Structure 1
């Protein structure tokens, strides 16, 4: 590049960007240094090497530092031209190559510091995007989000609202750590159970599903416990279904078999409720806070009876089996029987809560049906 072309380019860029004074000052400084280099080189070759280094430093530092921030391309051209005029084509080529490498980013980046697991997790959580999300999608499990609680239905007049129970604990140890262990066969929690006359009326549906175990007429049964009762809903559901599907139960009598569902698409429903809620659910029948009922598709079991049994029965466990079979018997179409006589076995549809009228209490529709041995 000639001096004349360098001067024209400097002037053209000065009009469009950086002040011409800054550009010409860089050129003048470079020329002055170059002249000194030639003079000292003739006197002492060793000084020429040192002087050449100073020339490059002054030319590059002065020209680029002064004008690079305003007109990078013009600055590089001016400095390269000055170096070519003073030191030759090879020195100018070195200036141009250094500039092009700097502009294109050809520098060695320092190695990235490995992020700790805590730092990486925090970054993913804060941004919600990036490599962390990709890694999770390719096999790193994301922590489960607590499922939002199901909204409670607003109770209409005389009709309890319904909600789903939480899934059962995965192990007895976790269940024990959370509270009292439910009694098998009833779901009662604690050794001393207080019977409150009336609670909120909200029903908690036991979470679970199961197919009917036998052939015959299938009844899909939903099971629910009034919120606030000291009862585990799932253990209560298990005990009710064990009674309904017992070999001595309704399947032996008429072929009915019972499946468990927690959906609202059910054929029958069994509800355990406080005495006051039982009275409301059983209307227009009068259960006087003491009795249970089977009305339309719902068998309502009075918690007072479930917890304390009946004086007419020696075994509370057998009384609960009678209560389930009797009230569900109404739901599937059976009416009350009368005691056949003193000392006779009552049928399951004989009223046996307050008195058996001289009959021997009986909880099963078919008490003589064979029962497989439990190993």
Structure 2
């Protein structure tokens, strides 16, 4: 049925998920990006200590550090402290963003380096630095887009960037995506131009369709939307019992497939299925 069409060499350096929350839903504003520039200078990973202090100051001292019994956020084994915290999901925000003051060396072995920034809407109880570390880990995973041997990604705090990843409240997501003619209804993510827009609701709560920890679902969000930035369109399930492609809109149902967050299998085979018109 046209599934698994291209086996690719996997990177030699294997990134290990450091216990970060990964989830996703996708509205397909699937935009192919052409003519992205190669990266500028590389740098060792550097987190701004001042940002840590600011994040701590912004967090409510009365906020529990673990999700209470009965919470709709269930930390999975291995989740990071950020994942384990019960992060509130306000319906709306100011529409302004904080940029993570973190940067790193390129991840992946590909010659084409995609530079990106991570931004979190102001008023959200989520550390931009932690979000950036999480997203950098996803993009460097050996089953992620770097497995094609062509693409690498570099987190930057300033300077030229090929795309931004914005984590925003449902209302702000609706505004950004709606301006491009996309209907998100406060529920899902989208890609608009050079911006990946992540719905905080999905980042925190995941999806009932996805049978796995919220960390994995966050990986699906990033892999799906960044896949659109790489020119990948929507596909559907390749066969009963097969892993769902990352470019499948899994929040709309799995259609016989098994929930999966990654574009490539452990063996380095691209996971795909029939194209969706």
TM-score category (smaller protein)? 0.5 to 0.7
Instruction: Give CA deviations for 1:278-312 in whole Å, capped at 9, x if unaligned.
Output: 11111311111111012221111100000100001
TM (norm. structure 2) is 0.66
Q: Which runs of 5+ in 2 are unaligned?
A: 1-47, 67-74, 269-277
1:356-371 paired onto structure 2 within 5 Å: 356-369=254-267
Structure 1: 5+ residue stretches without partners: 1-164, 371-375
- The answer on 1:353 being equivalent to 2:236 is no
Q: 1:280 to 1:186 in 2, by over 3 A?
A: farther
How many correspondences in the alignment? 204
For 1:215, the equivalent position in structure 2 comes to 109
| Distance across 1 between alignment mates of 2:122 and 2:81 | 14
Structure 2 counterparts to residues 47-86 of structure 1, below 5 A: none
Cα distance change, pair 331–355 in 1 and its aligned pair in 2 (3 A)? same
* Structure 2 partner of 1:263: 158
Q: 1:319 to 1:281 in 2, by over 3 A?
A: same
Give distance in 1, aligned partners of 2:215 and 2:235.
Answer: 22
Quick one: structure 1 residues 232 and 189, their matched pair in 2 at CA, closer, same or farther if it must change by over 3 Å? farther
3-state secondary structure, aligned to 2:52 = coil
> Which residue of structure 2 lines up, in the alignment, with residue 33 of structure 1?
none
Matches within 5 A, 1:125-274: 167-169=50-52, 179=61, 188=82, 191-216=85-110, 217-253=112-148, 255-274=150-169
Is the CA contact 1:226–1:274 (under 8 Å) kept in the aligned structure 2?
Answer: yes
Q: 1:186 to 1:294 in 2, by over 3 A?
A: farther
Describe the shift of the 1:246–1:190 C-alpha distance in structure 2 as closer, same or farther (beyond 3 A): closer
Give matches, 1:80-99, under 5 Å: none
Q: 1:298 aligns with which of 168, 176, 195?
A: 195
Structure 1 residues 167 and 211, CA gap change in structure 2 (3 angstroms): same
Q: Deviations over 1:110-145 (max 9, x none)?
A: xxxxxxxxxxxxxxxxxxxxxxxxxxxxxxxxxxxx
CA RMSD of aligned residues (A): 3.0
Q: Residue 157 of structure 1 aligns with which residue?
A: none
